[in-house]
């Protein structure tokens, strides 16, 4: 009888862990799909080579939106980083330039 109870508990735990794994996978896939929607034309905001902040500032307000982890992800509009999914933070051109230089990027 004791063996049957242990077997029943083990089966229940296995089933529960399978449900958790399925849920985590489903949530991860859903998050990836949402990130793709939020980062349309993502390649346009991942900056390479020499970064021209004034050219990025299309509305000429002296501010851009920059990722706080992937510093070379910069846009003139709010959004999310296509690399890490973080929300871009609004900063002045001066702050963006200083941050880029501090992290080894070249700025025009």
- At 77-94, the pLDDT tens digits run 999 999 999 999 999 999
Give the Cβ contact number of residue 45 at 10 Å. Answer: 25
Q: Report if pTM > 0.85.
A: no
What's the pLDDT at 101?
A: 96
Q: How far apart are CA 100 and CA 52, in angstroms?
A: 11
User: What 3-state DSSP class applies to 22?
Assistant: helix
What's the pLDDT at 27?
A: 64
């Amino acid at each position: 009888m004791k063996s049957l109870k242990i077997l029943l508990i083990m089966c229940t735990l296995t089933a529960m862990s399978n449900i958790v794994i399925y849920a985590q996978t489903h949530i991860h896939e859903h998050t990836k799909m949402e990130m793709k929607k939020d980062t349309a034309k993502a390649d346009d905001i991942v900056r390479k080579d020499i970064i021209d902040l004034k050219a990025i500032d299309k509305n000429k307000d002296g501010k851009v939106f920059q990722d706080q982890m992937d510093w070379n992800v910069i846009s003139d509009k709010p959004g999310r980083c296509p690399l890490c999914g973080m929300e871009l933070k609004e900063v002045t051109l001066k702050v963006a330039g200083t941050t880029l230089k501090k992290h080894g990027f070249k700025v025009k």
